[in-house]
Structure 1
Amino acid sequence: MAGRINPVVKAVLEWGPIAAFFLGYVKLKDESFTIAGTDYHGFIVVTAAFIPLMLLSTGLMWWLSGKLSKMQVATVVLVVIFGGLSVWLNDERFFKMKPTMIYLLFGGLLGIGLLRGQSWLKLVLEDAIPMQPEGWMILTRRVTAFFFALAVANEAIWRSMSTDVWVNFKTFGLPLAIFAFFMTQGGLFKRYGFEKP
């Protein structure tokens, strides 16, 4: 059934689990559940539900489109690892670390590419953003620095603020920051972009 996926379906599969996590957290954040003799805070229960939901949505994305980006695969693996640790050890800190690990991983990989004189970002986004090689190198340097900044921001927020603040930051702050970042790159796209033949 692989092929071009409907944009609405794609958006639902990408953002649905995040929205479900947020709504679940809002509903259960003050609840406590005893499972097999152990008390679990609502955050842990919602995290436990988020992991299979993320796996299901990613699996459906792969089934419908026939492909997954390396970024999607890495994100799902880190969700399973850090979400699983939070549930297993009944400690929400591991799941809060997940965005930090994701942005450090992506920033680190892009940084390795830059040290080799290559834009690995181009390999991921070339079809979406046709641009000259010089433009890709500039954008990659900016995205690398941005990812490291997001990692620092996530660490600062989850370590110094309440879980409510962190959940809002993860659900709304991070996507808005990424959107705003790419909106500010319009001059770069205009200068180095070109029309696909």
Structure 2
Amino acid sequence: MTDEKRLPPLLKLALELGPLVLFFLGNAYGDRLGFAENQRIFVATGIFMAATLVALGVSYALLRKIPIMPLISGVVVVVFGGLTLVLQDQTFIKLKPTIVNTMFGAILLGGLYFRKPLLQIVLDSVFELTEEGWRKLTLRWALFFFALAALNEIVWRTQTDDFWVKFKVFGIMPLTIAFALAQTPLLLRHEIKKAEEA
């Protein structure tokens, strides 16, 4: 087993949540920085892009690599955030969670189709599971990503900008944590015990 560098859990959480929190704060208080109220989401998008690039840079400086999920998400943030700012159309930044989650779901399902549970690679072997365990866990996460994509579409198309920003920051993360915790029985059922490996 390779002894790869890993970020301390609190730093990892800060790098993942930090840009989102700054996005929320930029949207909530952009007018206090002298921007018109209808420009707050554009201010927040610029802050989000910058914070995402900083977070990716810190990850690379500490690990000498960027984990695949934050990298994909970061590229989409920069592309769709850039389109949002250049075209002054907030639709692009609102589509970002839909596109990222749909992409993750499709990639995971594609891996299952070719009998490669890609979640095992994405999680950097944090868990030691049976082949069946990886297959089931991958399928569940793929379906969860599709559900998040659909939920994002419903929220941004039916709610206010402020509600969508709050949902993006304070809704998606708790839902993801709750879903991850709900997978504990599956993880325990399919875990490869160290004694079995010896």
Q: TM-score, normalised by structure 2?
A: 0.89
Aligned-pair CA distance for 1:28: 1.9
Amino acid aligned to 1:153: L
Amino acid aligned to 2:29: K
Amino acid aligned to 1:7: P
Aligned-pair CA distance for 1:7: 3.1
Q: Given the alignment, which residue of 45, 51, 54 partners 2:52?
A: 54
Map of 1:26 onto structure 2 = 28
Map of 2:8 onto structure 1 = 6
Distance 1:110 1:6 in 2: 26
Map of 2:19 onto structure 1 = 17
Amino acid aligned to 1:103: N
Deviates more, 1:168-177 or 1:6-15: 6-15
Residue 116 of structure 2 corresponds to residue 118 of structure 1: yes
Distance 1:152 1:4 in 2: 32
Q: Deviations over 1:61-100 (max 9, x none)?
A: 1101222111111011000011111000111111010000
Distance 1:82 1:31 in 2: 23
Map of 1:184 onto structure 2 = 182
Tell me the C-alpha RMSD between the 2 structures.
2.1
Task: Give runs of aligned pairs for residues 16-95 of structure 1, distance below 5 A.
Answer: 16-28=18-30, 33=35, 41-95=39-93
Conservation of the 8 A alpha-carbon contact between 2:130 and 2:190: yes
Q: TM-score, normalised by structure 1?
A: 0.89
Distance 1:30 1:92 in 2: 20
Map of 2:97 onto structure 1 = 99
Distance 2:5 2:124 in 1: 19
Aligned-pair CA distance for 1:177: 0.9
Conservation of the 8 A alpha-carbon contact between 1:29 and 1:43: no
Deviates more, 1:12-21 or 1:134-143: 12-21
Residue 117 of structure 2 corresponds to residue 127 of structure 1: no
Distance 1:128 1:12 in 2: 19
**More strand per residue:** 1
Distance 1:141 1:7 in 2: 26
Aligned-pair CA distance for 1:4: 4.3
Distance 2:101 2:168 in 1: 13
Percent identity between matched residues is 37
Distance 1:65 1:195 in 2: 28
Conservation of the 8 A alpha-carbon contact between 2:24 and 2:165: yes
Aligned-pair CA distance for 1:124: 1.4
Aligned-pair CA distance for 1:32: 7.0
Conservation of the 8 A alpha-carbon contact between 2:28 and 2:40: no
Conservation of the 8 A alpha-carbon contact between 2:22 and 2:47: no
Q: Deviations over 1:157-195 (max 9, x none)?
A: 001111111111110111111111111111101110134
Q: Given the alignment, which residue of 141, 155, 173 partners 1:157?
A: 155
Residue aligned with 2:89, SS: coil
Q: Deviations over 1:132-167 (max 9, x none)?
A: 110000111111111111100000100111111111
Aligned-pair CA distance for 1:3: 4.7
